[in-house]
Amino acid sequence: MARIPVDVEIEIDRFCNNVKQSTYTRSVDLALATILILKKLIGESKWSNASELITMIRSQAHRLNEGQPVDSITFNITRRILKIIREVSVRIIHGKNEGSDISLTLQAVLNDRATMLTMNDDEYENPDDNLQLKKKQQVQADLTESMPINSIESEVPMHILKPELMDDLNWYATDVELSVQNLAQQALAHIHANEIILTLGYSYTVERFFKYAAAKKRQFHVFILEHAPFFTGHKMAINLSQANIPVTVVTDSAVFAIMARVNKILIGTRSLLANGGLTAKSGTYNLALAAKNYNVPLLVCAPTYKFSPTYLPSFDPVMCNSFPSPENILSYESLFQSSLDIVVPMHDYVPPELVTLIIGSGMGNAPSYVYRIVSELYSAEDNDLERSQKKSSR
């Protein structure tokens, strides 16, 4: 059985506490911290083969997510790392063939429930590789039938896996670190001259996106919804105006009124669900509906680690939400009876049909394509990470 040394335990606890105390203001920081903690876990605990490692990480996944009960970033990162472990172990077994890597990804997809659909998609996407692919798939299919995936991984011993894995993890960490930058570099493709662009509240990614375009001498005007009652829009406005971008701050309630003037909407999101829906700042749903009404395109900046393979369990607004202090609305000093209820939701769910384009690290995608990206990013076995953990802990 895999063992976790004390100092890693402590490290994990500290990480949880840091999350609870909202030390990480930006989601990138949180993502990087998660990678770091998982690297530590992999590097310093005792495990003999890959399958042990996977079980161990899975057992820790829920613990890492403590303190942010509705945020999925740690889960996404954990899933991605599990996927990397699986990939690396398969690569070790089947030789260092890059091609097999791709095919294996598809293999995972094949095992998924929506087998037929993906097949078609694949063929459509890579018509050139089609023949070669089909052959490989067959080989792989035979292979997996004879040997379940778990047993493949249990064959991979620690001393071979570890160095390779560490390389990959480092590569992944830099990838995450640069993801915002990569995303921002697409700015010129989306922001055209003299456009009026609407955004909501503060998002680090969106800020970088705008600044990149401004640095390339693109002329555009930004409307910012102030995002009451948190008013993060004010910070965004100040930051952007310092980069000499013309900015107008608008109250949230005026979103419908100004929509007619807007060419494009560009927002960040907290997470991106597998169906292409968003959980984003409260007020985004309003914004998206208004945009739909005026047929204004709604672009969403989402770095890869925000892609989540889960779906919204229900339309219950509580499930994907967090509720901060009512002080944002009503001052604590003022008197009121307990019969007064104050609800301050932080997030909104936006259904995929209202989203026009999702700008990932590599390129723009339609929301309907998200499930495909997700299935490449994560292996299907880990999709139930959240649920399984909750069950086992009860």
Partner 1 sequence: MGKQTNINSDYREEERLTCVLVLDSFNSYINEIVSHTTLPLCLWPVDGQSLLDYTIHTLMRSGIQEIILLATSNSYEIRTYLMNSHWLKTYPKLIRLIPCKDARSLGDCLKDLEQENIINNHFLLIYGNGTLITNEKLNNLFNIHKENIKKDKNCIMTLVYRQLESNQFEHPSFTDDQHLYIIRDSNTHRLYDYSKEYLDTYEIPLDLLEKPNVTIETLYCPLDCHLAVCSTDVLHLFKDNFDFLTINEFVKGVLRDEEIAGHTIYSYLYETGYFLSVHNLRLYMKATFDILRRWSYPLVPEIIASMHKPLVSSTVTTPTSPQIKSNDSYTSFHNMSYPIVYDKHNIYKQGDIQLDRLSNIQKDVFIGNKSQILSGVCISSSLIGQNCIIGKNSRIENSIIWNHVQIGENCHIKNSIICDNVLIRNNVQINKECILCKGVIIGTNAQLKERITIIASNSITSTKPMDDVEIDEDIQLPPVDFKRSNSKQSRSSTRLSDKSLPSSIEETITSNIDLVGSDGLGKELIFSFLHEHQTKSFQATSDDDDDDDDEDDDNDEKLLNPFDAWGYRIENKDLSIDDNEDNNERPSKPFVKQPSIISDDDDDDDDDETSGTSGSSTATESHRTDDEGDVSEFQEEVIRTLERAYLQKLKKENIIVELNMLKPTYDVSPTEFDQSITRAVFLLPFEKKITNIEKPNYWNTLKLTMDQITQDILKNYMKTTNEEAQMTLLNELDLICLKFIQPIGERIVNILNYLYEKDVLVEEWILKWYKNKQEKIQKNELVIKPEEKIYYDKLKQFIEWLQNAESEDDDDDDED
Residue from 27, 76, 338, 349 binding partner 1 (CB under 8 A): 338
- What minimum distance in Å lies between the beta carbon of 271 and partner 1? 17
Q: Counting contacts by CB under 8 A, is residue 145 touching partner 1?
A: no
Phi, psi of 307 (to 5 degrees): -75, 125
Q: Which is nearer to partner 1, 2 or 109 (CB)?
A: 2
Q: Counting contacts by CB under 8 A, is residue 315 touching partner 1?
A: no
Q: Counting contacts by CB under 8 A, is residue 324 touching partner 1?
A: yes
Q: Counting contacts by CB under 8 A, is residue 175 touching partner 1?
A: no
Q: Identity (one letter) of the amino acid at 102?
A: I
Residue from 4, 84, 196, 380 binding partner 1 (CB under 8 A): 4
Sign of CA dihedral 120, 121, 127, 132: negative
Q: Which is nearer to partner 1, 177 or 353 (CB)?
A: 177
Q: Counting contacts by CB under 8 A, is residue 18 touching partner 1?
A: yes
Interface residues for partner 1 in 343-372 (CB under 8 A)? Answer: 344
- What minimum distance in Å lies between the beta carbon of 12 and partner 1? 9
Q: Counting contacts by CB under 8 A, is residue 327 touching partner 1?
A: yes
The Cα 340–Cα 343 span in angstroms is 10
Long-range contacts of 384-392 (CB under 8 A, 24+ apart): 385/58, 385/61, 385/62, 385/75, 385/78, 385/79, 386/62, 386/65, 386/72, 386/75, 386/310, 388/58, 389/58, 389/61, 389/62, 390/62
Site string for partner 1, 24-63 (x = CB under 8 A): x----x--xx--xx-------------------------x
Give the rounded distance of the alpha carbon of 309 from its chain centre.
Answer: 9
CA-atom Rg of the chain in angstroms: 23
DSSP letter at 297? -
- What minimum distance in Å lies between the beta carbon of 56 and partner 1? 12
Bridge partners (DSSP) of residue 357 are 299
Q: Identity (one letter) of the amino acid at 294?
A: Y
Strands 364-365 and 347-350, by their bridges, are: unpaired
Q: Counting contacts by CB under 8 A, is residue 142 touching partner 1?
A: no
Residue from 147, 189, 254, 342 binding partner 1 (CB under 8 A): 342
Q: Counting contacts by CB under 8 A, is residue 332 touching partner 1?
A: yes
Q: Which two tokens stand for residue 238?
A: 């100040």
The reply to whether omega before 309 is within 30° of 0 (cis) is no
Q: Counting contacts by CB under 8 A, is residue 391 touching partner 1?
A: no
Contact residues toward partner 1 (CB under 8 A) are 3-6, 9-10, 13-18, 20-24, 29, 32-33, 36-37, 63, 66-69, 316-318, 323-327, 331-335, 338, 341-342, 344, 390, 393-394
